Structure 1
Amino acid sequence: MKTTVGTHKLPGYGSTLRTSRRLTEQAVKLVSRSVSGRMPDVEVVLTNERGMAELMVAADIALVGAADRRALKRATQESKRIARGAQARAIPRLDGSTLILINADKHPTPADFAVTLVHELVHAMQFSRKGVLERIVRDTRDGLGIERQSRRQAREHEQLVELDENEAHSREYLAEKLVPGARAAA
């Protein structure tokens, strides 16, 4: 399990990057002990809204394979929409690793960052479970108009996403161990 932390189009955030590296190292250990599954290689990227949208498009296209112009346009529009409201997003990769994008502008304190980081690391653990990557690829291909999935598959995916979100929210208390008072900041 290899963990890297970096920035994308975010100059002048050196102290934030150092704090992020320290918190990520500790959070990976906490989450891997608390959640079932296997912690994959994780790449955490601190960026802004525009950078998030850019990296989400690249990650989604890499996840689904070759895509035509129409799928690329859909991916760009969807990524911009998601990036406007998202604090962070975890995206699985075909090699089994996970990309975690974090909007640094929406995390003014280490406590805010710790809560979001723990939440996204739980998702990274979930991606390692049997059948999850295939389900996400199928749903992403459907969302980009590449390959349709059945209504039953779409419903099942939505239900499982909700269960995964509930599990991630239930583990956010672990951020308290990283930064005292982090739960109150959430």
Structure 2
Amino acid sequence: MKTTVSTHKLPGYGATLRTAKRLTIEAVRIVNRSVPGRMPDVEVTLTTERGMAELSAAADLALAGTADRRATRRAVSDGKHTAREAMARAVPRPDGSVLVLIIADKHPTEAEFAVTLVHELVHAMQFSRTGVIERIVRDTRAGLGIERQSPRHAREHLRLLRQEEHEAMGREYLAGQLVPAAAA
């Protein structure tokens, strides 16, 4: 299990990067102990909203295994929408690792960053469970218009997605072990 922390198109955030590295090392250890699954290699990238849209689209296209024009346009559009709505996102990669994208400007305090980091690392642990990656790839390919997904599979994916999100939100209390202010 290898963990890297970096920035993407985010100059002048040296102190934030150092804090993120310190918190990520501890968060990986804590989440690995308390959540079922196996922690994959994780790359945490601090970025801007625009950078998240760009990296998110590239990760979706890599996961789907295609790069035709229509799928690329949809991936870019979905990436922009996700970047506007979300504070962070965990994306599985074809090689089995996980990319965690975090918008640095949406996390003004260490406590908020710790909560988001723990949440996304729980998702990374969920990706290691049986059948999860295959389901995510199938849904990503359907979302990009590459291949159709049966209505039954789509409903099942949404049900499991809600369940996984509920689990991740339920584990956010672990951030209190990283930063005491996050427990409040």
Question: TM-score scaled by structure 1?
Answer: 0.98
* Mapped contact 1:8–1:51 kept (Cα < 8 A): yes
Tell me the equivalent position of 1:77.
77
Deviation for aligned residue 1:57: 0.7
Tell me the equivalent position of 1:136.
136
Identity in percent: 72
* Distance (Å, rounded) in 2 between the aligned partners of 1:46 and 1:154: 31
Aligned residues: 184
1:80-99 superposed Cα distances (whole Å, 9 cap, x missing partner): 01100110000001111000
Q: Within the alignment, does 1:20 sit opposite 2:20 as a pair?
A: yes
* Distance (Å, rounded) in 2 between the aligned partners of 1:178 and 1:73: 39
Q: Which amino acid aligns with 2:168?
A: A
Question: TM-score scaled by structure 2?
Answer: 0.99
Q: Within the alignment, does 1:155 sit opposite 2:160 as a pair?
A: no
Deviation for aligned residue 1:116: 0.1
* Distance (Å, rounded) in 1 between the aligned partners of 2:23 and 2:66: 36
* Mapped contact 1:90–1:124 kept (Cα < 8 A): yes
* Distance (Å, rounded) in 2 between the aligned partners of 1:18 and 1:67: 35
Deviation for aligned residue 1:24: 0.1
Tell me the equivalent position of 2:105.
105
1:96-141 superposed Cα distances (whole Å, 9 cap, x missing partner): 1000000000000110000000000000000000000000000000
Equivalent position SS for 1:27: helix
* Mapped contact 1:2–1:42 kept (Cα < 8 A): yes
* Distance (Å, rounded) in 2 between the aligned partners of 1:14 and 1:78: 30
Equivalent position SS for 1:53: helix
* Distance (Å, rounded) in 1 between the aligned partners of 2:113 and 2:132: 26
* Mapped contact 1:87–1:102 kept (Cα < 8 A): yes
* Mapped contact 1:64–1:141 kept (Cα < 8 A): yes
Tell me the equivalent position of 1:121.
121
* Distance (Å, rounded) in 2 between the aligned partners of 1:113 and 1:104: 8
Equivalent position SS for 2:180: coil
Equivalent position SS for 1:181: helix
Equivalent position SS for 1:108: coil
User: Unpaired runs of 5+ in structure 2?
Assistant: none
* Distance (Å, rounded) in 2 between the aligned partners of 1:67 and 1:18: 35
Tell me the equivalent position of 1:32.
32
Tell me the equivalent position of 1:90.
90
* Distance (Å, rounded) in 2 between the aligned partners of 1:183 and 1:52: 27
Tell me the equivalent position of 2:172.
172
Q: Which amino acid aligns with 1:118?
A: V
Deviation for aligned residue 1:183: 3.0
